[in-house]
């Protein structure tokens, strides 16, 4: 009988382990002094949202996205993320960087400005894509913020791991298969991340205008889910009817790209009724189920860095999977940078175990059960009586959570032995305490209750406190100079791109859709 993957990994020595490569993309709204979504354009001091490598926008002109470089340690990752926050906070004038996933006060779709990327064809394409999201799903849903965690393992590890498994594929194909192996187990266990890191049990009622819901009343302008962990990831958050019909297959790269490509080239009647133009103005890229790959929302994605104007599917097919993007993380409102050290270290441990555990292919029936588990924890994860489907039987969610944490302990000890500290064991203990003493979604509600404030005012208060802390921290002169130079160069690069355009947008778009 072949040795288990965990047993093979236990045979690795410290010299065989090359650590993790990691990065964070952290979103957050700019908010005015009254707690309303900012109506101002992206600050020029922060550079061009089209070309800046560290600071851009997501859906809205007011929804900042901060991007770390690839880092080889949690400490360097958090310091990089904190530096970007320090620079941003110093350039927001009297605006505030919103600390929570669920948005500030809104006043319907028209209060949410769609992001602008300049007059170039590629910049206008990004804007039209966001216009398409608006006509398909409304702008309010797109005002939600989160943190994305990117993780990869270096090629030196993959070469050792391939040798341990006696695998003869090309390294590109082997890595892609192994990342999908990890993804399948992530899908089986992602409900645990919603229990441990969900922080959006409440929201401002302006988010709910005209929406049917079953939330409870917290105060005159705040609603909440009594046992919810993440309203962001539930029915009120990222969802749509067209995507509900998709059956994106996460079993291997070829079926993943094929099913995504089919969705991009399959028209959807309601979107055909909308059309792609209103007068001379483009309002969506096309009338397909998905305009582009990024429109498909999932808790995890296989990723490959793209070249300019290259599509994600093309990059994946040409060069294979490069890293995994975990997309289901709510912002941690208790952290000035939206994530924390114990969380990052736990994610490394969790994702490595997903790679090392057995991972059979996921059939349609299991896929449905996994989706149900995820939805149940999102909507009522703090219900002591909640049960989840596991191995064809139902079991207590809390019992299953503790079992997973217990199973991670030997791996944490192995990594700690190589790293020379106890960071992974401590990350594991932090999650055990969270289950025993109160998960973050409970802590958010308790903090709101003890402060006597509803969602908007409590988040505004904690956002101002984070801002004060970050503004009082000085950026090293060379780091400040580097950020200022990045902003200057990004504005210059955007101008060069705009000057180089020689074809009208219609022709550019037609070529893009054909490629």
Distances (CA, A) of 130 to 58, 119, 141, 239, 357: 9, 15, 12, 16, 39
112: left (phi over 0), alpha (psi -120 to 50) or beta: beta
DSSP-assigned beta bridge partners for residue 149:
24, 326
CB atoms within 10 A of CB 431: 24
| Domains defined along the chain, listed by start | 20-514 (3.30.590.20)
In this prediction, residue 244 carries a pLDDT of 66
In this prediction, residue 1 carries a pLDDT of 45
First to last CA, the chain: 48
Collapsed DSSP state (helix, strand, coil) of residue 277: strand
Matching residue, tokens 């104007």 = 309
CB atoms within 10 A of CB 144: 26
Residues lower than pLDDT 70 in the chain: 1-2, 238-242, 244
Average pLDDT, the chain: 96
In this prediction, residue 241 carries a pLDDT of 61
CB atoms within 10 A of CB 500: 9
Give the span between the Cα atoms of 338 and 101, in whole angstroms.
Answer: 9
Closest listed residue to residue 157, CA positions, set 145, 140, 174, 144 = 174
Q: How many degrees, rounded to 5, is the angle at CA 29 between CA 24 and CA 32?
A: 150
Q: How many degrees, rounded to 5, is the angle at CA 309 between CA 305 and CA 315?
A: 35
Give the span between the Cα atoms of 250 and 185, in whole angstroms.
Answer: 10
Task: Mention every residue, 6+ apart, whose C-beta is less than 8 A from residue 51.
Answer: 490, 493, 494, 497
């Amino acid at each position: 009988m072949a040795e288990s993957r965990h047993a093979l990994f236990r045979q690795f020595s410290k010299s065989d382990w090359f650590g993790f490569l990691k990065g964070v993309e952290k979103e957050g709204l700019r908010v005015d002094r009254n707690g309303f979504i900012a109506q101002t354009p992206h600050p020029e001091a922060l550079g061009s949202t089209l070309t800046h490598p560290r600071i851009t926008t997501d859906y809205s002109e007011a929804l900042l996205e901060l991007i770390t470089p690839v880092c080889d340690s949690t400490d360097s990752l958090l310091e990089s993320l904190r530096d970007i926050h320090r620079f941003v906070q110093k350039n927001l004038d009297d605006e505030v960087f919103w600390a929570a996933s669920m948005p500030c006060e809104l006043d319907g779709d028209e209060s949410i400005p769609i992001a602008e990327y300049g007059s170039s064809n590629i910049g206008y394409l990004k804007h039209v894509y966001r216009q398409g999201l608006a006509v398909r799903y409304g702008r309010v849903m797109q005002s939600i913020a989160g943190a994305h965690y990117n993780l990869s393992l270096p090629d030196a590890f993959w070469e050792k791991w391939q040798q341990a498994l006696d695998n003869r594929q090309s390294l590109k194909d082997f890595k892609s298969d192994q990342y999908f192996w990890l993804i399948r187990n992530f899908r089986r266990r992602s409900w645990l991340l919603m229990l441990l890191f969900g922080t959006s049990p409440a929201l401002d009622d302006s988010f709910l205008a005209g929406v049917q819901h079953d939330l409870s009343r917290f105060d005159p302008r705040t609603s909440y889910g009594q046992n919810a962990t993440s309203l962001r990831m539930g029915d009120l958050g990222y969802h749509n009817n067209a995507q509900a019909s998709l059956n994106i297959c996460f079993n291997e790269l070829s079926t993943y790209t094929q099913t995504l490509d089919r969705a991009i080239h399959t028209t959807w009647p309601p979107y055909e009724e909308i059309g792609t133009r209103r007068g001379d103005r483009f309002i969506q890229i096309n009338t397909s189920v998905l305009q582009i790959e990024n429109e498909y929302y999932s808790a995890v994605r296989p990723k490959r860095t793209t070249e300019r104007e290259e599509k994600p599917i093309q990059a994946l097919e040409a060069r294979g999977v490069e890293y995994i993007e975990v997309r289901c993380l709510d912002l941690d409102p208790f952290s000035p940078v939206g994530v924390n050290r114990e969380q990052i270290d736990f994610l490394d441990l969790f994702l490595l175990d997903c790679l090392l555990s057995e991972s059979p292919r996921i059939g349609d029936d299991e896929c449905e059960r996994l989706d149900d588990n995820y939805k149940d924890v999102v909507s009522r994860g703090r219900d002591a009586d909640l049960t989840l489907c596991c191995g064809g039987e139902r079991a207590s969610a809390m019992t299953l959570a503790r079992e997973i944490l217990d199973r991670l302990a030997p791996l944490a000890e192995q990594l700690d032995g190589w790293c020379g500290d106890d960071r992974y064991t401590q990350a594991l203990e932090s999650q055990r305490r969270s289950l025993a003493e109160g998960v973050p979604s409970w802590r958010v509600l308790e903090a709101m209750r003890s402060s006597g404030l509803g969602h908007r005012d409590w988040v505004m208060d904690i956002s101002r406190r984070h801002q004060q802390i970050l503004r009082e921290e000085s950026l090293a002169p060379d780091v400040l100079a580097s950020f200022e130079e990045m902003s200057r160069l990004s504005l210059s690069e955007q101008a060069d791109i705009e000057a180089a355009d020689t074809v009208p947008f219609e022709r550019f778009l037609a070529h893009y859709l054909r490629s």
